[in-house]
Amino acid sequence: MDKIKKNWYIIVIGILLLFGMNRCATACSRSQQVTLVQTEVQQKDSVITVLNDSIRTLNQELELAKNDNENYKKNIEVQQNAIDKITEAKKNIHVTVKK
């Protein structure tokens, strides 16, 4: 018991060192976890960026296809109007044959 009373400060310092080492190990572990999470977030962000670029590209292609379709419909309407006018003009043609 006398040795414990004489060396109490060494025991206290030893216990404090053990707690300090435990905190250091915990902090290092947390740091590694934070690094892993940051890496995952960066990977997900890069995937999201690629997906957003793909969506933008697809939207542009859809817009072009929509414009092409509208132009095609207008062209069909013009052709149909021309056919209707020709058909109407044919009805008004009267051919007479003279002898």
**Which sequence spans correspond to the domains of the chain?**
2-70
Backbone angles phi, psi at 98, to 5 degrees: -105, 140
Lowest-pLDDT range of 23-37, 49-63, 80-94:
23-37
Q: Calculate Rg over the CA atoms of the chain.
A: 43
Whole-Å CA distances, 34 to 8, 20, 49, 63, 67: 39, 21, 22, 43, 49
The pLDDT tens digits of the residues spanning 1-23 come to: 666 667 777 777 777 777 777 67
**Rounded to an integer, what is the distance from CA 33 to the centroid of its chain?**
26
- Cα distance between residue 69 and residue 92, in whole Å: 35
C-alpha neighbours within 13 Å on the C-beta side of residue 8 = 4
Whether pTM exceeds 0.85: no
User: With bands split at pLDDT 50, 70 and 90, how would you rate the model's confidence at 25?
Assistant: low
Lowest-pLDDT range of 19-23, 58-62, 69-73, 91-95:
19-23
- Cα distance between residue 70 and residue 64, in whole Å: 10
Spatial CA neighbour of 30 closest among 19, 38, 20, 40: 38
pLDDT over 90 at 24, yes or no: no
Lowest-pLDDT range of 26-35, 41-50, 69-78, 84-93:
26-35
